[in-house]
Structures are given as structure tokens and as C-alpha cells.
Structure 1
Amino acid sequence: MRESLKQKIVEVCTRKIEQKGDNVGLSFYAFFANKNDDPQLLMEAAQWWIMTQRFDHFEKAVKIRAIVQAMP
């Protein structure tokens, strides 16, 4: 996963946790604007979320952030 996507995921997760608490859930769409302006990046996130991690549609932001921060 490219570094810019990792940073975006950590930023969004942190912001959502601060706003709504540790129990907040997110889908991978949370990391993108409502318009599809970078389909390749969206597919990269979807591939990681669905195929690599086998996440459900919604996962806890604290879990997502911890996994991404542990990635090399």
C-alpha cells in the first residue's frame, strides 16, 4: 500500500475516533471524497480491505489504525 494512503487512513481513523469515540466503525469509503477522482487509489484500498484483510463492510477505526500503523 502506498505511503500516502496509509497516512490518509491513519488521519481519518484518528479524526473519527476523536469525534465519536473508540467504538466508531468505518468502511473503506471513509477515506475518499464522494466523487471517484482517483479510481486506482480507490481500488488499492478496496483490494487491501476486502481481499487482503477480509474485513466486513464496517470495521472499528481503532482496529484499522492499529493494523495500518503496524505495516512496514
Structure 2
Amino acid sequence: MRESLRQKIIQVCHKKIDQKGDNVGVSFYAFFANKNDDPELLMEAATWWIQTHQLDHFEKARKIIDMVEAGR
């Protein structure tokens, strides 16, 4: 996964945790605007989320941060 996407995921997850608490869930859609202006990046995130890690639609933001920071 490219570094810019990793940083975006971490930033969005921290923001969600700050807003709603440590138990907040996120979907990979949370990292993108409501329009598909970068389909390649969206597919990269979807592949990492769905195909590589077989995550549920919503996962805890803290879990996603830990996975991304660990380089998984």
C-alpha cells in the first residue's frame, strides 16, 4: 500500500477516534470523498481491506491503525 494511503488511513482513524471514542468503527470508504475521483486508490484500499485481510465492512479504527502501522 502506498505511503500516502497509509497516512490518510491513520489520520482518518485518529480523527474518528477523537470524535466518537476509542470503540468507533470505520469502513474503507471513510478514507475517500463521496465521489469516485481516484478509482485506482479506492481499489488499492479495497483490495487491502477485503482481499488481503478479509476484514468485515466495519472494523474498529484502533485495529486498522495498528495493522497499518505494523505494515500489514
TM-score tier, shorter chain, comes to over 0.9
The runs of at least 4 consecutive aligned structure 1 residues that moved more than 4 Å come to: none
Q: Secondary structure at the match of 2:14?
A: helix
Matched-pair identity in %: 72
Give the TM-score normalised by structure 1.
Answer: 0.97
Q: Does 1:46 align with 2:46?
A: yes
Q: TM-score, normalised by structure 2?
A: 0.97
Runs of at least 5 residues in structure 1 that lack an aligned partner in the other structure: none
Deviations 1:17-60 (Å, cap 9, x if unpaired)?
01100110000000000000000000000000001111000000
- The Cα shift of 1:7 comes to 0.2
- Segments of 5+ residues of structure 2 without an aligned counterpart are none
1:62 maps to which residue?
62
RMSD value, Cα: 0.9
Q: Distance in 2 between matches of 1:52 and 1:69?
A: 16
